[in-house]
């Protein structure tokens, strides 16, 4: 766990493609964005203990999109925290286990290290523990102190989250820093035109800190980094 800014904690591990989740603390309440890979949510629970908090202090959970790496701990964490689960309508039935995430090509397009994840989507394995979504999020909604941004492209219901007071952006899989910095994993971006528009929107925020779905957060020169990724994307 790393404190990225006042009240902003990044949680990550090597599994799920160095997947990351984010805990947001305001006025004694915690909001969780994504749930890492492990299906028991243990890393999130460890983080809560280290913060001296109880599972019940988590008041809401949001999912950026319905890909397995981000959904691992969701069902267990919902059970333990009692927090309502939020997602975009397009992703909600994937999260609930009623529809599988769309497969992507299994051909190498960027890095051989991504092949297991491409294959995982293709085979729909490993599955996540299905979990009902309680609240649907739309662009402009509030999620705790965060503003919800609907930034499709990586997937149709892909969400990012923006905390203006901290200039902190959770870019989801719109940007990755593992295995290297890129505008999302190329093979996984389902709609390139939408993704290009979404990147431009993320760049316009001029974020100071950018948390990403895969890899470490961007903590220096973040606005320039996102601008460059948006401009270079084609």
Q: Count the neighbouring beta carbons within 10 Å of the beta carbon of residue 123.
A: 12
The interface region with Zn ion, picked from 132-140, 163-171, 191-199, 207-215 by CB under 5 A, is 207-215
- Name the residue nearer to Zn ion (CB basis): 12 or 145: 12
Check residue 67 for interaction with Zn ion (CB under 5 A).
yes
CA dihedral sign, ordered 217, 219, 223, 224: negative
Site residue total, Zn ion (CB under 5 A) = 4
| DSSP conformation class of 176 | B
Instruction: Report how far residue 198's alpha carbon sits from residue 193's, in angstroms, rounded to the nearest whole number.
Output: 9
**The pair of three-digit structure tokens given for residue 210, joined into one six-digit string:** 């950018």
- DSSP label of 126: S
In the complex with Zn ion, the residue whose CB is nearer, 54 or 102, is 102
**Minimum CB separation from Zn ion for residue 188, in Å?**
6
Question: Least distance in Å: CB of 154 to Zn ion?
Answer: 6
- Whose tokens are 């243990």? That residue is 42
User: Contact letters (x/-) for Zn ion, 164-183, by CB under 5 A?
Assistant: ---------x----------
Question: Which of 31, 35, 69, 81 forms a contact with Zn ion (CB under 5 A)?
Answer: 69
Of 128 and 145, which has the nearer Cβ to Zn ion?
A: 128
Which of residues 80 and 175 has its CB atom nearest to Zn ion in the complex?
A: 175
Task: Confirm if 139 and 151 have CB atoms less than 8 A apart.
Answer: no
| Using rule CB under 5 A, residue 213 touches Zn ion | yes
- Going by C-alpha positions, the residue among 31, 44, 89, 64 that lies closest to residue 198 is 64
Give the shortest CB-17-to-Zn ion separation in angstroms: 6
* Distance in angstroms (rounded) separating the CA atoms of residues 77 and 91: 18
Of 120 and 213, nearer to Zn ion (C-beta) is 213
Residues from 21 through 40 that contact Zn ion (CB under 5 A): none
Nearest CA to 150 out of 65, 207, 72 is that of: 65
- The footprint of Zn ion (CB under 5 A) covers 67, 69, 173, 213
């Amino acid at each position: 766990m790393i404190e990225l800014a006042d009240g902003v904690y990044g949680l990550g591990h090597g599994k799920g493609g160095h997947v990351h989740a984010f805990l947001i603390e305001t006025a004694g309440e915690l909001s969780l964005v994504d749930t890492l890979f492990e299906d028991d949510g243990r890393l999130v629970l460890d983080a809560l203990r280290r913060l001296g908090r109880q599972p019940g202090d988590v008041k809401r959970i949001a999912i950026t999109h319905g890909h397995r790496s981000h959904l691992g701990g969701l069902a267990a964490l919902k059970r333990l925290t009692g927090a309502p689960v939020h997602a975009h309508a397009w992703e909600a039935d994937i999260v609930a286990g009623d529809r599988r995430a769309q497969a992507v090509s299994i051909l190498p397009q960027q890095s051989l290290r991504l092949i297991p994840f491409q294959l995982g989507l293709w085979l729909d394995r490993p599955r996540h523990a299905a979990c009902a979504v309680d609240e649907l999020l739309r662009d402009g909604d509030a999620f705790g102190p965060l503003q919800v941004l609907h930034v499709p492209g990586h997937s149709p219901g892909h969400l990012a989250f923006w905390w203006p007071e901290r200039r902190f952006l959770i870019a989801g899989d719109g940007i990755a820093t593992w295995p290297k910095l890129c505008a999302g994993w190329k093979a996984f971006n389902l709609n390139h035109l939408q993704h290009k528009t979404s990147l431009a929107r993320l760049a316009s925020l001029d974020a100071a800190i950018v948390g990403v779905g895969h890899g470490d957060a961007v903590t220096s020169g973040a606005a320039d980094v996102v601008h460059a990724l948006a401009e270079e994307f084609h």
